[in-house]
Amino acid sequence: MLGRQKVHARLFYEFDLETHIPSDHFLRGIDGFLDLTDLHEELRGFYSHTGRPSIDPELMIRMLVVGYVMGVRSERRLCQEVHLNLAYRWFCRLGLEDKVPDHSSFSKLRHGKFRESDIFRHVFERVVAQCIADGLVGGQGFAVDASLISADVQKQSSSRQGDWDASTIDPAEAPRAVREYLDTLDEEAFGAATPVKPKFTAHADPASQWTAARKGPAFFAYSDNYLIDTDHGIIMDIEATRSVRQAEVGSTLTMLDRTAERFDIRPDWLVADTAYGSEESLVEIVLKRRILPFIPVIDKGERTDGTLSRSDFTWDEENDRYICPDGKDLRHTRRNYSDPERFSTEMKPRRYRAAKADCQACPLKAKCCPNNETRSLQRGKYEIVRDFARTCTASAFNETASRRRKKVEMLFAHLKRILGLSRLRLRGPLGVKDEFTLAAIAQNLRKLAKLAPMNTPATWIA
């Protein structure tokens, strides 16, 4: 006899949401580290004391955290998932009978109270403080890198260089993303990042950068900049910039200073790729912040035509000279001056030249300076800093530092493949900052749930 399940109508149900969430569920691990106790106090000044009760900001933050942690990119879909998923309801402190807010509420709060209070930055710093308290941050070594994230614009809606003039735009009639760009024209991370105008400018999001940095077809993008602690890959700071090298390098100094101010943590050493190896960057890192740079130096003195490069000459600090491969010296002066200022050790640019007689009789002349009578080398004002960086990258520890730098690249791969942030949903500098900050919060929370000791461990992490 074929059995059939009978549905019995009941008037009352006893249902405890807490008992239906497994003890090893991933969101239980996340929930143990997300402290929003002072959220209402932080936002109190942005709400009116009269009128109808507003949506609880903690609920909205928790829903956004669920979305970014679980890779739910659409806010409309997020509301549906929270409505149906018991674990999501439990995490958001919603009962079975509680109504899920409409997806349009996120836009209203994002462009209003959340952005005015910079609450996402506050939550991010609270999570970083939790990582520090749980011993996941060593503070000795940091790594920095940037990754391109596609902007929510198309090339078809853009203008060529010179055809789009920001000074002719009326802010009162411009879209929100355009107004945000106009407000950031003087910021080094966006409008003032470089005087060079991009080949194309997107009408809907002019702060995005037209770039071909991926060695493929060009596209509009922003740069997501991470400063991480290399012990466990905790994101210490996050910065959104245009996708130009000057802005990315400048954000490193901003993040280092902000980390020192917020958490009183100053790393002993910093590892990065060659893009951060300019003289200006190394001076800021080494001289002003006293950090060891494991950063390859950008060296335009290296030749590719088969002749001797700068690295083939040895610098003699004690005697203020270069020594060529044939043993002859290159000096910036060969005269005896009565003015002691001529022999000042103050850092300034100098050109070092070999004696004409030495070069004419040298057997290496054809390989050293075939088109000139003598060989000369330009030594920059801060060449001593560049030499120090070369010493660091030539040390035995550089291999360890380079291996640890891969953790920041793994975070970017996780960001795009697991969290789904390969293309932005929001436009404008502020919208991009919100997305990057929420994604960093999600990644740090996932790391806490995986590594920090908890009474309810999480057993499944993508």
Distance of alpha carbon 442 from alpha carbon 63, whole angstroms: 12
Interval 344-367 mean pLDDT: 83
Confidence of residue 383 (pLDDT cuts 50, 70, 90): confident
Interval 88-112 mean pLDDT: 87
User: Are residues 181 and 40 part of one domain?
Assistant: no
Give the strand pairing for 158-160 and 141-150. Answer: unpaired
Decide if 336 is inside a domain.
no
- Residue 336 pLDDT > 80: no
Decide if 187 is inside a domain.
yes
Confidence of residue 26 (pLDDT cuts 50, 70, 90): confident
- Residue 170 pLDDT > 60: yes
Query: CA nearest 267: which of 277, 278, 280, 257?
Result: 257
Question: Residue written as tokens 């018991």?
Answer: 86
User: Are residues 408 and 266 part of one domain?
Assistant: yes
Contact 269, 140 (CB under 8 A): yes
Q: Note down the domain range covering 276.
A: 138-296+404-428
- pLDDT at residue 7, rounded to an integer: 54
- Residue 442 pLDDT > 90: yes
Decide if 225 is inside a domain.
yes
Domain count for the chain: 2
Contact 181, 167 (CB under 8 A): no
State CA 32 to chain mean position distance. Answer: 26
Query: CA nearest 436: which of 444, 401, 38?
Result: 444
Number of Cβ atoms within 10 Å of the Cβ of 341: 7
User: Are residues 157 and 97 part of one domain?
Assistant: no
The two most distant CA atoms of the chain are separated, in Å, by 117
User: Are residues 167 and 267 part of one domain?
Assistant: yes
- Phi and psi at residue 150, in whole multiples of 5°? -60, 135
User: Are residues 76 and 202 part of one domain?
Assistant: no
Decide if 362 is inside a domain.
no
Nearest-5° angle of CA 87, CA 89, CA 91?
A: 70
Which two three-digit tokens encode residue 309? 């490069």
Half-sphere exposure of 196 (CA within 13 A, CB side): 11
Decide if 349 is inside a domain.
no
Query: CA nearest 277: which of 302, 260, 303, 258?
Result: 302
- pLDDT at residue 397, rounded to an integer: 96
User: Are residues 79 and 164 part of one domain?
Assistant: no
Interval 168-191 mean pLDDT: 84
Which two three-digit tokens encode residue 154? 């198309």
Distance of alpha carbon 435 from alpha carbon 454, whole angstroms: 28
Nearest-5° angle of CA 326, CA 328, CA 330?
A: 125
Contact 32, 450 (CB under 8 A): no
Specify the pTM. Answer: 0.87
Distance of alpha carbon 462 from alpha carbon 441, whole angstroms: 16
Amino acid code (one letter) for 392: C
What's the mean per-residue pLDDT of the chain? 86
- Phi and psi at residue 33, in whole multiples of 5°? -115, -5
User: Are residues 216 and 162 part of one domain?
Assistant: yes
Instruction: Report the run of H or E that residue 146 belongs to, with start and end.
Output: strand 141-150
Number of Cβ atoms within 10 Å of the Cβ of 462: 11
- pLDDT at residue 3, rounded to an integer: 47
Q: How far is CA 44 from CA 49, 117, 272, 438, in A?
A: 9, 10, 41, 21
User: Are residues 38 and 159 part of one domain?
Assistant: no
Question: Residue written as tokens 């003039």?
Answer: 165
Distance of alpha carbon 115 from alpha carbon 239, whole angstroms: 16
Q: Domain with 209 in it: what CATH number? A: 3.30.420
Give the strand pairing for 141-150 and 269-271. Answer: parallel
Decide if 369 is inside a domain.
no
277-288 pLDDT tens trace: 999 999 999 999
- Residue 131 pLDDT > 50: yes
Number of Cβ atoms within 10 Å of the Cβ of 250: 22
- What residue ranges in 279-359 does DSSP mark as E strands? 292-294, 314-316, 321-323, 329-331, 350-354
Q: How far is CA 264 from CA 98, 121, 132, 236, 260, in A?
A: 42, 17, 11, 12, 4
Confidence of residue 231 (pLDDT cuts 50, 70, 90): very high
User: Are residues 153 and 106 part of one domain?
Assistant: no
User: Are residues 240 and 160 part of one domain?
Assistant: yes
User: Are residues 182 and 76 part of one domain?
Assistant: no
SS3 287: helix
Task: State the sign of the Cα–Cα–Cα–Cα dihedral 207, 228, 444, 81.
Answer: positive
Distance of alpha carbon 208 from alpha carbon 189, whole angstroms: 11
User: Are residues 284 and 150 part of one domain?
Assistant: yes
Distance of alpha carbon 222 from alpha carbon 201, whole angstroms: 13
391-438 pLDDT tens trace: 999 999 999 999 999 999 999 999 999 999 999 999 999 999 999 999
Continuous H helices in 72-224: 75-84, 86-91, 104-110, 113-117, 119-133, 176-183
Counting residues of the chain whose pLDDT is more than 70, the rounded percentage is 90
Decide if 182 is inside a domain.
yes
Decide if 343 is inside a domain.
no
Number of Cβ atoms within 10 Å of the Cβ of 270: 25
Distance of alpha carbon 307 from alpha carbon 370, whole angstroms: 9
